[in-house]
Structure 1
Amino acid sequence: MAVMNKAVLHQVAEYFKVLSEVSRLEVLCSLKHGAKNVTQIMAETGLGQANVSKHLKILTQAGMVKRQPHGVQVYYEITDPTILPMCELVSRGLANRLEFQLQEFHSIL
């Protein structure tokens, strides 16, 4: 990573703070294949309406998700195309690290 000033690093930290909540990650995964309304997100995640709405508000304020009114419904979709590939990259890294730790553990036995 290139040397960044503190203001940039602060923004990076805030970005990752938004992604540090499991329920928000569940909401983002629900939106992986396209726009959904709150009811659809609730059905996919098992989260309650107030919880989904709270997390959608945070994701929208962070610029990761946008809301689009369609009649009486509001649909949400991911606006930041880097989020899901980044989460997949982190997941692969964690899986690789766990595999390495498992191999080390087996070599000790």
Structure 2
Amino acid sequence: MEGLSELALDHVAQYFSALSEPSRLRVLNILRDGERNVGELAEMCACSQANISRHLSTLAKHGMVVREARGTTVFYRIADESIYALCDLVCGNLAKRLSEQANLLGNVNAKKPRKA
């Protein structure tokens, strides 16, 4: 982030903000397997089509997904596959940290004397 202007930092913050919603992360994860339409995404995410459409609009606004109309159906796909490298990095680090915390808690609980 060194050397970025205030405007660029604001755009970066907005980009990460778009990733801060679990439903959007679910959508991105589903699209990893290929394009889907709104109805399919809504069903797979257990959300309404209106809700999924709002999330897709946010993801499209930040250049994460692109839409393509075919007849009366609109399909969405990932615009830039590098989004997965970013998500995998963050998720991998988080999983490692949670595992370390669980190990620490397990060690603490193993040392506590049990009540009879």
User: Do the structures match in fold with TM over 0.5?
Assistant: yes
Which range moves more in the overlay, 68-77 or 95-104? 95-104
Matched, 1:9 2:29: no
Aligned partner of residue 9 in structure 2, secondary structure: helix
SS in 1 for 2:32: coil
Match of 1:43 in 2: 43
TM-score (norm 2): 0.84
Q: In structure 1, give the amino acid aligned to 2:76.
A: Y
Q: Which amino acid letter does the alignment assign opposite residue 20 of structure 2? A: S
**Which residue of structure 2 aligns with residue 68 of structure 1?**
68
Aligned to 1:52: 52
Q: Sequence identity, in percent?
A: 39
Give 5+ residue unaligned stretches, structure 1: none
> 1:3 deviation in Å?
4.1
Q: Residue in 2 aligned with 1:84?
A: 84
SS in 2 for 1:91: helix
Amino acid at match of 2:34: G
Q: Which residue of 2 aligns with 1:28?
A: 28
Structure number with greater CO (CA < 8 Å, separation at least 6) is: 1
Runs of 4+ in 1 over 4 A off after TM superposition: none
* Alignment-mate amino acid for residue 27 of structure 1: V
Indicate the residue corresponding to 2:18 in structure 1: 18
**In 2, Cα distance between equivalents of 1:53 and 1:107:** 46
2:107 and 2:55 map into 1 onto residues whose CA distance is 43
The unaligned stretches of length 5 or more in structure 2 are 112-116
Out of 96-105 and 12-21, give the one that drifted further. 96-105
| Structure label with greater radius of gyration | 2
User: What amino acid does structure 2 have at the position aligned with 1:14?
Assistant: Q
Between 4-13 and 84-93, report the one with greater CA deviation: 4-13
Q: When the two structures are superposed, what TM-score results if normalisation uses the length of structure 1?
A: 0.89
